[in-house]
Amino acid sequence: MSMIARDAEPQSLDSVTHRTNQAPRWLWVTSLLVVSVVVAPLAYITVEVARQPSWGLIWSGRTAELLFNTTVLVAAVTTTATTIGVGAAWAVTRVRLPMPALWTSVLALPLVIPSYVAALAYLAASGPNGMFAQLWSWPVPRLEGLLGSWLALSLTTYPYVFLVSVIALRRMDPSLEEVARSLGKSPLRGFFLVVVGQLRPAIGASGLLVALYTLSDFGAVSLMRYDTFTKAIYAQWAVRIDRTPALTLALVLILLAAIILWIEQRTRGRAEYFTKRPSRPPKRTRLSRRATWAVQGALGGLVVLALIVPISVLIFWLLRGLANDQTLTNVGLAGLRSVTVSGVAALAAAVAAIPVAVLFVRFPSRASRLMERAIWAVYALPHITVGVAILFFTVTLVRPIYQSLLVLIAAYVVLFLPQASGAVETALRQIDPHIEEAGRSMGVGQMRSFLRLTVPLIGRGIASGGALVFLTVMKELPATLLLRPTGYDTLALAIWQQANEGLYTRASSSALVLLAISAVPMFLIATRTIRS
């Protein structure tokens, strides 16, 4: 699943409008069409499994084993990523360090590395054949299984906790920490007593994101050969074409995702935590020289592990291949395919997002809120379950388009629609709802007023929503794997297949191209979020 958190709701202008008027029919029709396409696969899974449930599989030792493995990994990654993320956020916002802005950017950077690229890098670095052994003869044991998955996922997901915590810490009123100090607490104790308590919603929300990401990760665990639900679902599909076991496991995985969401909701608490805007920036604690060096050392170690090692490993294998005259075939073609499908998917999602967003923002009703919740629920699901659902849905019901680019693009829209609609909604909330009425009072019809006034004004929102979808689709793996036309290998797919076969040079070159195309814009979006 993708990890761009929903935008915080900006101040709404809606209070000034009367919202009783009915939405025009075309808006309802197009929105319902979009939402039913998004929801259809999920409904299909549920109906299909209910019709012929394979209880035998659910109660088998196999399911228990998958459940155990998955739970251990989710718990380990969530704990690690949360601890690292909050600790690093505290260091860059509350400790007097040289170049805090640079630290913040560099610590957020691993965000752009897909988990399967990190897995590839750790695999290609360790073991008897890895980079460390080749360069310096270091006997680093091969990182795979639980250990490797844990490392790859923790180090690519902690930036979400880090970014959310940095924002929360900056918004926190510094007087609260000062009160703790004035009551005789040390900076560290004050941090735990006052700050961590206030950070709870931020930690909860970002921890939820990390847990869902880990639960739905397919790329890293499959490369690391660690058996979880996602890997088992893929194996079921790849080994035999009988759909029932794959769909059943997918439904169990969906239930796990629902449980994680439910736990987060239950423990959220009722307190209002954030002060609106602190009167002054938080004060940074001056630590002793030694402690400052220790903090910088820890942050530096994190950057080395999460960023410098993976990138160096990829570059090492690329150079090694070039030195051995290995031909890097098809990287260009795969790149072109990735850019093409991502571009078309982004365009489709942006267009589909417009009626949906207008309906949600301008004509809120019980039905529209239900539709909004439905598309967000699908967004929270593991991609492999949505992929399996769409796969069997097309095989059974719309056979002619099975394995066509149309299905692949539709799947991306289903998976990532909220990224686009969320951006359009934010843009819509920022424009004066009277604008269209003003147009109509000047004798210009509703549709023309919408096209000439509202669309240009939300253009940037549409574009940024589309860009977000583009970047997410670029690195999407499991749904692409299941739904692409045979042989249509994108960059993400090439990386995964080549890494799976131990072709580290080829995988590394594809990974570097992927990072070059998707990482830079992703990084710009992320840092803009922190600054604002």
Chain positions contacting other proteins, by CB under 8 A: 16, 18, 20-21, 431-432, 434-435, 437-446, 449, 452-453, 456-457
443: left (phi over 0), alpha (psi -120 to 50) or beta: left
Query: Which CB atom, from 20 or from 327, has the smaller least distance to other proteins?
Result: 20
Query: Which CB atom, from 111 or from 453, has the smaller least distance to other proteins?
Result: 453
Query: Which CB atom, from 241 or from 455, has the smaller least distance to other proteins?
Result: 455
Q: Give the C-alpha separation, 485 to 245, whole Å.
A: 23
Query: Which CB atom, from 182 or from 441, has the smaller least distance to other proteins?
Result: 441
Beta pairing partners, 285: 95
Reference 138, options 152, 148, 147, 128; nearest CA is 128
Query: Which CB atom, from 22 or from 288, has the smaller least distance to other proteins?
Result: 22
Q: Are 161 and 90 in contact (CB under 8 A)?
A: no
- 3-class SS of residue 80: helix
Query: Which CB atom, from 179 or from 438, has the smaller least distance to other proteins?
Result: 438
Phi and psi torsions of 120, nearest 5° = -55, -45
Reference 82, options 196, 174, 245; nearest CA is 196
Q: How far is the CB of 466 from other proteins (least distance, A)?
A: 19
Q: Are 505 and 318 in contact (CB under 8 A)?
A: yes
Q: How far is the CB of 452 from other proteins (least distance, A)?
A: 8
Q: Give the C-alpha separation, 159 to 166, whole Å.
A: 10
Q: How far is the CB of 456 from other proteins (least distance, A)?
A: 5
Q: How far is the CB of 270 from other proteins (least distance, A)?
A: 28
Q: Give the C-alpha separation, 204 to 200, whole Å.
A: 6
For the chain, first and last CA: distance in Å? 25
> What would you report as the CA-atom Rg of the chain, rounded to the nearest whole angstrom?
24
Reference 190, options 282, 104, 107; nearest CA is 282
Query: Which CB atom, from 20 or from 279, has the smaller least distance to other proteins?
Result: 20
Q: How far is the CB of 365 from other proteins (least distance, A)?
A: 13
Q: How far is the CB of 18 from other proteins (least distance, A)?
A: 6
Name the token pair of 30.
């197009």
Query: Which CB atom, from 24 or from 145, has the smaller least distance to other proteins?
Result: 24
Q: Give the C-alpha separation, 410 to 371, whole Å.
A: 18
Q: How far is the CB of 19 from other proteins (least distance, A)?
A: 9
Q: How far is the CB of 432 from other proteins (least distance, A)?
A: 5
